[in-house]
Each structure stands twice: as structure tokens, then as C-alpha cells.
Amino acid sequence: MTFATMLQTMGSGMLKTILLFVLTLLGSIPLGMIVVFLKKSKFKPIAWLTDIYIAIMRGTPLMLQLLVWYFGPYYIFGWSIRGYKFPALLIGFIMNYAAYFAEIYRSGIDSMPVGQYEAAEILGYGKIQTFFRIILPQVIKRILPSVTNEVITLVKDTSLASALAYAEVFSLAKQISASQTSFLPFIVAGVFYFVANYVVAWIMKGIEKSMQYYK
């Protein structure tokens, strides 16, 4: 295999990595906010179940969770898992990262002074208006550095998709390295991940700068 062919092959794997990354963000970021609302629910059973969900997602390896999501339907219900690989990966990543984003959101919301809520109430804002028009914009600004770290971690965690033989860039690097008896594919994969993380960090830094409205 020539170097150009290897780049082309691994480039196609990187596209699959990016697809998994983007869809995970689109699913986990809003789901994390829903999880926060459930965690703060005054109905104790819901809050309790949400705490258990977060504890499981954060307390067990992501690779193990991916295997459970993929093989679970077959072993528990006897369902066919043919063609289920990518949906299982997507569900596993979204459910895992939603728990982490939920905790980031919670810490941001809890850091807001009580006076913000009291002032909004005096001005006649309802609870929903207060949250979305006053609290949430400030929370987003506070949690952006933590969100950035989590997003960068997600880029690297996509390599765990290789546990289900999903043909992303790291999985292809292992296959090519084994067939060619060469370490070069891992170096190329490392460059791909580094560039992807650099782009993500650059985008997130731009978002953080745009939130510096007080300047």
C-alpha cells in the first residue's frame, strides 16, 4: 500500500470519526440540559433515577457501555443486531456525554447568585423567562472552558468506536499497521486527531471570545 493510498483510506475513516463526533454533540448537548432539569425535579423518584443514570455513565468505562448498547439487545431480548453497529455507537456516546454535560451545566447553574433570581422576580419575570433570558446566557459563558475540554476529549474518545470494529480512523490505523507491519499509520492517525482537536479548540476559543461582551 502506497502512502497516498493509506492517506486516502484513513481520510475516509476520519470522515466517519467526524460524523460520529458531530452527531454525538448534537445529541448530548441538549440531552444534558434535559438531564439537569430532571435532576433538579421536585419529584424525588425522577431526581433519584437521574442521579443513578449519571453515576453509572460517569462511573463505568465508555468502552464497556458501548459493548452493552451493542450486544445488550441480542442477549437480553434476542433481537438481531445486524446493521445496528452505528446506532449503538451513537446511543452509547450520546448517553455517556449527556451525563458529563449535565454535570457541567449543573455546576454552572448552581454557581449563579440567588440575587439574580430575586432581581428577576422583582422585575416581573417568570421562572422560565428568568432561566432562559437571564440565567442561561451567564451560565453558558461560565461553563465554556469546561465544555471545551469535554468536546476535545470526545474527539479522542471516538477511537473507542474501534471496540465495535467501526471503520473510523483509529480502527483503520490498526488494520493497516497490522497488514503492513508499520508504525506509520498510527503516526498519521495521531496527526489527524491533533489537527481535529486544534480546529475544535480554535472554534471554541472563538466562541469564548464572542462571549466576552463585558469588554
* Residue 139 near residue 108 (C-beta atoms within 8 A): yes
- Please report which confidence band the pLDDT of residue 213 belongs to, taking 50, 70 and 90 as the band edges: low
* Residue 162 near residue 171 (C-beta atoms within 8 A): yes
Question: Structurally, how many domains does the chain consist of?
Answer: 1
For residue 215, tell me if it sits in a domain: no
* Residue 60 near residue 127 (C-beta atoms within 8 A): no
Which CATH number goes with the domain that contains 63?
Answer: 1.10.3720.10
Q: What percent of the chain has pLDDT over 70?
A: 98
Please report which residue ranges of the chain form alpha helices under DSSP H: 3-39, 44-59, 62-77, 85-110, 114-122, 127-129, 136-157, 169-180, 184-210
pTM to 2 decimal places: 0.88
Q: Domain range holding 80?
A: 3-210
pLDDT beyond 60 at 214: no
Nearest to 189 by CA among 162, 159, 149: 159
pLDDT beyond 90 at 198: yes
pLDDT tens, position by position, 47-85:
999 999 999 999 999 999 999 999 988 888 888 778 788
**Is the model more confident about 116 or about 155?**
155
For residue 142, tell me if it sits in a domain: yes
pLDDT tens, position by position, 76-135:
888 877 878 899 999 999 999 999 999 999 999 888 888 878 888 887 888 888 888 888
